[in-house]
């Protein structure tokens, strides 16, 4: 039976970073993955260009039951460290917006970088290698499609539940539960909302139209675009809000963020008293959205005839339009899984479990969920590096 210093289950972002770090420290490392190739989510990320980090990554861009947990790992392997690595590999990149860094070419550049770093550390990577049995002990024993192995340190980097067709499984979460570690109930996040039929009937034909909004939900707010879809609402603002949404709760949208509607109406009605509100709104919103809001929620009258209560209603329905999603599109389209292995079970410095020495959980399987914009990969790099330095 072959023995390794470190075995990592999951050849995704966190697992490969951990493997390269440990291998380059002289550890004998094996990475196993049940999929037919490594880094599948990296390849599909960022529309194929991988938003690999964010210039502004910091603890405030993450959600976790313990908002301090990620600080140590993020501080010890920062976005600047990953950017330096990208530059060392000569990978061209650009900032798209708000600090989001993307490859100029393809996401496969990032997978190539990770594999090159693994090679430099002498890491063995095995794909199509399912784990059929696992005993956490000293040494740990794992049985795989390629035979049995033992190791001193076992790292679980099997990611979250999103996009099962890309190889996502509940392996890490189920293992944690089996070993008596607390797992916080998961759900899909960074995911489009679905709407109840009645509301969808009023909005579905706006599918494809995007509006700049401020979305508020669960104490968080995001000023970005919302996109009408055939099933509900998507776009960055809605994906971000979904991370803070709990089933049954409402989401509030400001469809005219930063605009003083009352002042705008007052100014316009001096010169255009007969102008209908929907036509004025058409200067600030896509015309079809303005028409739809005036057909269902906002009094559409000539500006001169808008009463105080009409204006109050318009402000309420445009600055604080509140709806209850029927749900989300779920793991089939979600970018990430919210919650996971409770951080109270782990060392924030090394990601090692407190109850099982030599067992580590890193990446998305842990209860640390980043905002949209490259923060989730930065957590994968940082947590992978933290464990890779410790094993």
- Closest approach, Cβ 44 to ligand FDA, in A, equals 5
- What is the rounded distance in angstroms from the CA atom of residue 52 to the CA atom of residue 282? 37
- The residue of the chain with the least Cβ separation from ligand FDA equals 12
Under the binding rule (CB under 6 A), the answer on residue 158 touching ligand FDA is yes
Nearer to ligand FDA, 146 or 304 (CB): 146
DSSP assignment string, 169-215: -SHHHHHHHHTT--BPPPEEES--EE--HHHHHHHGGGTT-EEEEEE
Whole-angstrom CA distances from 208 to 48, 227, 318 are 21, 6, 20
Nearer to ligand FDA, 129 or 294 (CB): 129
- What is the rounded distance in angstroms from the CA atom of residue 365 to the CA atom of residue 338? 9
| Residue numbers 249-278 binding ligand FDA by CB under 6 A | none
Taking CB under 6 A as the criterion, the residue among 110, 131, 154, 351 binding ligand FDA is 131
Helix, strand or coil for residue 364? helix
- Closest approach, Cβ 283 to ligand FDA, in A, equals 34
- Closest approach, Cβ 170 to ligand FDA, in A, equals 8
Taking CB under 6 A as the criterion, the residue among 35, 85, 151, 298 binding ligand FDA is 35
Q: Build a one-symbol-per-residue string for 311-350: x at contacts with ligand FDA by CB under 6 A, - elsewhere.
A: ------------------------xx--------------
Contact segment (CB under 6 A) with ligand FDA among 40-48, 198-206, 318-326, 346-354 equals 40-48
- What is the rounded distance in angstroms from the CA atom of residue 61 to the CA atom of residue 75? 14
Contact segment (CB under 6 A) with ligand FDA among 160-168, 215-223, 288-296, 344-352 equals 160-168
Contact segment (CB under 6 A) with ligand FDA among 21-29, 46-54, 253-261, 312-320 equals 46-54
**Can you read off the two tokens belonging to residue 273?**
């008293």
| Residue numbers 51-110 binding ligand FDA by CB under 6 A | 51
Under the binding rule (CB under 6 A), the answer on residue 134 touching ligand FDA is no
- What is the rounded distance in angstroms from the CA atom of residue 113 to the CA atom of residue 94? 17
Under the binding rule (CB under 6 A), the answer on residue 14 touching ligand FDA is yes
Q: Of 218, 214, 249, 215, whose CA–CA distance to 325 is shortest?
A: 249
Under the binding rule (CB under 6 A), the answer on residue 376 touching ligand FDA is yes
Under the binding rule (CB under 6 A), the answer on residue 162 touching ligand FDA is yes
- What is the rounded distance in angstroms from the CA atom of residue 365 to the CA atom of residue 157? 7
| Residue numbers 346-375 binding ligand FDA by CB under 6 A | 363-364, 374-375
**Can you read off the two tokens belonging to residue 15?**
């697992």
Contact segment (CB under 6 A) with ligand FDA among 38-46, 58-66, 109-117, 309-317 equals 38-46
Taking CB under 6 A as the criterion, the residue among 46, 121, 139, 325 binding ligand FDA is 46
Range 288-293, long-range pairs (CB < 8 A, 24+ positions): 288/206, 288/209, 289/206, 289/209, 289/211, 289/228, 289/255, 292/202, 292/203, 292/206, 293/255, 293/317, 293/318, 293/321
State the Rg of the chain over Cα: 24
- What is the rounded distance in angstroms from the CA atom of residue 41 to the CA atom of residue 54? 18
Site for ligand FDA, rule CB under 6 A: 9-15, 33-35, 40-41, 44-46, 50-51, 130-131, 157-159, 162-163, 167, 169, 171, 335-336, 363-364, 374-377, 380
């Amino acid at each position: 039976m072959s023995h390794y210093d470190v075995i990592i289950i999951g050849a995704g972002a966190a697992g490969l970073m951990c493997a390269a770090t440990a291998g380059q420290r002289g550890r004998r490392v094996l990475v196993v993955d049940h999929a037919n190739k490594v880094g599948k989510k990296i390849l599909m990320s960022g529309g194929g260009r991988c938003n690999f980090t964010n210039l502004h990554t910091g603890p405030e861009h993450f959600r976790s039951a313990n908002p301090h947990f990620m600080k140590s790992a993020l501080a010890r392997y920062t976005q600047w460290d990953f950017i330096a690595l990208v530059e060392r590999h000569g990978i061209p990149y650009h900032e798209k917006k708000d600090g989001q860094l993307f490859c100029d070419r393809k996401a496969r550049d990032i997978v190539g970088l990770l594999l090159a770093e693994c090679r430099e550390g002498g890491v063995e990577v095995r794909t199509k290698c399912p784990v059929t049995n696992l005993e956490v002990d000293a040494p740990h024993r794992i049985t795989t499609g390629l035979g049995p192995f033992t190791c001193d340190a076992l790292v679980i980097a099997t990611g979250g539940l999103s996009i099962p067709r890309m190889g996502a499984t509940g392996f890490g979460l189920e293992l944690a539960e089996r070993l008596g570690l607390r797992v916080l109930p998961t759900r899909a996040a960074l995911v489009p909302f679905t709407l109840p039929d009645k509301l969808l009937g009023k909005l579905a034909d706006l599918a494809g139209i995007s509006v700049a909004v401020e979305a508020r939900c669960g104490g968080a707010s995001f000023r970005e675009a919302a996109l009408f879809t055939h099933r509900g609402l998507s776009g960055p603002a809605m994906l971000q809000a979904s991370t803070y949404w709990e089933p049954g709760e409402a989401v509030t949208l400001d469809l005219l963020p930063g605009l003083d509607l009352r002042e705008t109406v007052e100014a316009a009605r001096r010169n255009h008293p007969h102008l209908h509100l929907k036509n004025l709104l058409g200067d600030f919103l896509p015309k079809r959205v303005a028409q739809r809001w005036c057909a269902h929620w906002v009094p559409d009258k000539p500006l001169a005839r808008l009463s105080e209560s009409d204006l109050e209603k318009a402000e309420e329905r445009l600055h604080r339009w509140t709806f209850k999603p029927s749900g989300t599109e779920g793991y089939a389209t979600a970018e990430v899984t919210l919650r996971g292995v409770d951080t109270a079970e782990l060392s924030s410095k090394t990601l090692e479990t407190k109850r099982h020495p030599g067992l580590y959980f890193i990446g998305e399987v842990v209860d640390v969920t980043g905002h949209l914009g490259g923060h989730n990969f930065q957590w994968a790099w940082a947590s992978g590096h933290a464990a890779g330095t410790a094993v």
